[in-house]
A and B are shown apart, each in its own frame.
Chain A
Amino acid sequence: MIVYKYIAEALFYAFMLLIFMGGFMAVRSRMLMHAVLGLAVSLFGIAGLYFFLGSPFLAMMQILIYVGAVCIMIVMGVMLGNTPDQLAAKNYSRRNTFLAVIVCSTGFATLFVAIGQTKFAPAAERVGDMSIRFVGENLLFKYCLAFELISVVLLTAIIGAIILARGGREEKAS
């Protein structure tokens, strides 16, 4: 039985490695297609962490929505908007990289110290569990208004995206 614990721990390290490798790839690669691939790898790792946090439902949603929908949409944007040779000619300026590393490491050090020094007390009593049934009940009763609003937001975004992407075409035709 104790073996499974170690296997789970090794898997946790593997997911962490996926997240960091994907993030590094997304930030440092010159080709945008590689950056999107890094984003997808990193999102898979985060879906694995959701399993560890006790919510397989959210892990599935992460893979379905983020890896399946958002990444594909960004790939579409890359293919419609960019030519690869244009990207290869672009180079990073060394001074910018240096400044960005300084800013980000300072921010991370601040956050690290803040996380280390804060004492998080668990809630006195917990109601319900992590199951999908409980989430669904909460979505349909307590958070019903927010749930409906988010669908309105999505609808508006889709209509807006269609209008924005269509505008140029009409201009060209006339």
Chain B
Amino acid sequence: MMISGNLNTYLIISAILLIIGLYGMVQHRSLIGILISSEFILNGAALNFMAFNRFIAPNPAVGQIYALFIMGIAAAEAAIAVSVIIAVYRKYRSEDPEQVQDMKL
């Protein structure tokens, strides 16, 4: 049985990506680790868009455009997040989210 031509396979893979990202967000003890986990969640969403685009969308370009937009947003988000983390690290000398949760800079 071929599973690469089945919509549910891709949906389950993207659900697993979402769960990996969620687990990493809870588990990691540093801001960079949380950023890495958020990339997993974004990729799960993009894979979902592409799967629906391939199998059931009326216009097969829309899913690809959405996935491209997700990549652009992810790049912007990573740039902002890394610079915020660097600023926080300069101020606090640590990347522990527990210590920066009051956000008083």
Interface positions of A (Cβ within 8 A of B):
5, 8-9, 12, 16, 19-20, 23-24, 26-28, 32, 35-36, 39, 42-43, 46, 49-50, 52-55, 57-58, 61-62, 65-66, 69-70, 73-74, 76-78, 80-82, 87, 90, 92, 96-97, 99-101, 103-105, 107-108, 111-112, 115-116, 120-130, 134-135, 137-139, 143, 146, 150, 153-154, 156-158, 160-162, 164-165, 167-168, 172
Instruction: Tell me the smallest distance from the CB of A29 to a CB of chain B, in Å.
Output: 9
Tell me, in angstroms, the Cα distance from A51 to B71 when the chains sit together: 17
Interface SS of chain A: helix, strand, loop or mixed?
A: helix
Complex partner residue of B32 from A55, A77, A103, A154, CB under 8 angstroms: A77
B71 touches A108 (CB 8 A): no
- The answer to whether B39 and A70 touch across the interface, beta carbons within 8 angstroms, is yes
- For chain B, the bracket of interface size reads 35 or more
Segment 60-105 of B: residues with Cβ below 8 Å from A: 60-62, 64-65, 67-69, 71-87, 89-91, 95
- Chain A: which residue is nearest B39 at the CB level? A39
Q: Are A104 and B56 touching (Cβ within 8 A)?
A: no
Q: Which residues of B contact A55 (CB under 8 A)?
A: 50, 54, 64
Complex CA gap A107/B69 in Å reads: 27
Contact call A135/B64, Cβ cutoff below 8 A: yes
Residues of chain B whose beta carbon lies under 8 Å from any beta carbon of chain A:
2-4, 7-8, 10-13, 15-20, 22-24, 26-30, 32-33, 35-37, 39-40, 43, 46-47, 50-62, 64-65, 67-69, 71-87, 89-91, 95
A-B contact pairs, 17 of them (CB 8 A): A19-B16, A46-B47, A55-B54, A65-B75, A77-B82, A96-B27, A103-B22, A104-B23, A111-B15, A120-B56, A121-B56, A138-B59, A146-B69, A150-B69, A153-B72, A154-B76, A164-B87
Q: Given A9-B2, A58-B67, A135-B64, do A154 and B56 touch, yes or no (CB 8 Å)?
A: no
In the bound complex, do residue A164 and residue B60 qualify as a contact, i.e. CB atoms below 8 Å apart?
A: no
Do the beta carbons of B91 and A168 come within 8 Å of each other? yes
What distance in Å separates the Cβ of B23 from its nearest Cβ neighbour in chain A? Answer: 5
Q: Are B13 and A49 in contact (CB under 8 A)?
A: yes
- Min CB distance A145 to B, Å, is 12
